[in-house]
Amino acid sequence: MILKKLSLINYKNFDQISIEFDSKINCFVGKNGIGKTNILDAIYHLAFGKSYFNPITSQNVKHGEDFFMIEGDFENGSKSEKVITSFKKGQRKLMKRNGKDYEKISEHIGTIPLVIISPTDRDLILEGSETRRKFMDGVISQGDKLYLDALLKYNKVLSQRNALLKYFAANRTFDETSLEVYDDQMIELGQIIFQKREKFIEEFKPILQKRYEEISNSREKISLTYRSQFNEEESYKTILKSGLKTDLQRQFSNFGTHKDDLIFKIQSHSVKKFGSQGQQKSYLIALKFAQYDFLKSHYGVKPILLLDDIFDKLDEDRVSQIVSMVTHAELGQMCISDTHPDRTEEVVKKNANHYKMINLENEI
């Protein structure tokens, strides 16, 4: 999948801009605040129907305006694809592919395989389990519609169950039959989610190990463990029953696949607690390139790779290695953002015969 042209209207800091892309390497440069990250985010928006950095849609509209539009022209093998996402305040977001509206934006997920690496990804290491579940869900959902459908339904049931728990507390009442309706749905959907996550991690671990060794030039052994309440010997229904008192007290569902987590370790020690900055950085980059490898091998296409402020994460030798991989066709199309044009071009020149430098200070 190759992005040929991107057009924005009233998206974040841009009034209007149109950019044509090189099929391999595109370098967005300029001072901080000029909009480099926003360009990459617009590409992500076309792939996932939402911003990577701010999921509140209305806050992606340029200040003082009431709508935005993002339009991308793609090349998929011999086919041309046009994807448009737009939003007007007070209305629902719309997505179109080749002129046809999607009834649900979730139907579009997986059409444009994409991997993004950003400084904000450090949250994968440092923050709570929700961030790591989102990472896992994002990888699996790009190629598994059944998983995405089960996940969306599960989250809806979870929200309804939580609302019922709050209703019980507010009205000092309890109806076990009503609660069991949601419990049964959570068990059925949760089992699908668990099985697919478990299978994914089993396949993903050796890919991650290989990438970590390449990126860190290290013989350290890393591990990735999927932790879920489904791993307990008790049945899931028993777990829900035993946790009911806690749920009623907290007015929230405390047991289920929405509590799953990924455990990152190096040499049997927690990356979060004991990993050096270099180890954390290497583990994170390995995760993202393993994601790329997984999507590429499973779904037969080379995802678009977005590297936001990559020099914040890797030294020039590592960036040079990545650019070399792209040039030698191991990877597909890549977009890089950086504040230093000379530094970026020097690294790219060493490895690429053709590329495009886009200085946004000259574009807006």
CA geometry: angle 199, 260, 116, nearest 5 deg: 75
User: What would the DSSP string read from start to end of 159-203?
Assistant: HHHHHHHHHHHHHT---HHHHHHHHHHHHHHHHHHHHHHHHHHHH
138's CB contacts (< 8 A; 6+ apart) are 48
Least confident range of 45-59, 192-206, 296-310, 341-355: 341-355
pLDDT computed for residue 329 by the predictor? 60
User: What would the DSSP string read from start to end of 125-168?
Assistant: HHS-HHHHHHHHHHHHHTT-HHHHHHHHHHHHHHHHHHHHHHHH
Q: What is the CA radius of gyration of the chain?
A: 22
Residue 352 scores a pLDDT above 80: no
Residue 311 scores a pLDDT above 80: no
| Domain residue extents for the chain | 1-113+301-364, 121-300
The pLDDT confidence band at residue 314, using thresholds 50, 70 and 90, is low
* % of the chain residues with pLDDT over 70: 95
The pLDDT confidence band at residue 298, using thresholds 50, 70 and 90, is confident
Question: Mean per-residue pLDDT for 255-267?
Answer: 93
Helix or strand run (H / E) with residue 322: helix 316-327
The pLDDT confidence band at residue 82, using thresholds 50, 70 and 90, is very high
pTM: 0.90
pLDDT computed for residue 239 by the predictor? 85
Per-residue tokens: 324 = 């070399």
CATH number of 121-300: 1.20.1050.90
Amino acid found at 47: A
CA dihedral over 167, 169, 170, 175, signed as positive or negative:
positive
Per-residue tokens: 260 = 């799953």
Amino acid found at 298: H
Question: Mean per-residue pLDDT for 291-318?
Answer: 83
CA geometry: angle 57, 287, 284, nearest 5 deg: 80
The pLDDT confidence band at residue 232, using thresholds 50, 70 and 90, is low
Q: Which of 83, 93, 68, 70 is nearest to 1 (CA)?
A: 83
Is 202:226 a contact under the CB 8 Å cutoff? no
CA distances from 317 to 30, 217, 284, 331, 349 (A): 22, 12, 17, 18, 13
Question: Mean per-residue pLDDT for 21-42?
Answer: 92
pLDDT computed for residue 264 by the predictor? 95
Per-residue tokens: 285 = 């980059």
- The CA distance from 40 to 1, in Å, is 16
Chain centre to alpha carbon of residue 158? 22
Q: How many residues does the chain have?
A: 364
Helix or strand run (H / E) with residue 261: strand 261-266
Residue 327 scores a pLDDT above 70: no
pLDDT computed for residue 244 by the predictor? 92
Chain centre to alpha carbon of residue 227? 20
Model pLDDT for residues 174-200, shown as the tens digit of each residue:
998 999 999 999 999 999 999 999 999
Question: Mean per-residue pLDDT for 3-30?
Answer: 94
Per-residue tokens: 151 = 């996940």
Residue 169 scores a pLDDT above 90: yes
Residue 150 scores a pLDDT above 80: yes
The pLDDT confidence band at residue 143, using thresholds 50, 70 and 90, is confident
- The CA distance from 5 to 18, in Å, is 7
Model pLDDT for residues 236-256, shown as the tens digit of each residue:
888 888 889 999 999 999 999
Phi-psi region at 43: left, alpha or beta (left = phi > 0; alpha = psi -120 to 50) = alpha
Is 11:70 a contact under the CB 8 Å cutoff? yes
Least confident range of 193-207, 308-322, 337-351: 308-322
Residue 132 scores a pLDDT above 80: yes
> What is the pairing mode between strands 2-11 and 14-20?
antiparallel
CATH architecture of 1-113+301-364: 3-Layer(aba) Sandwich (3.40)
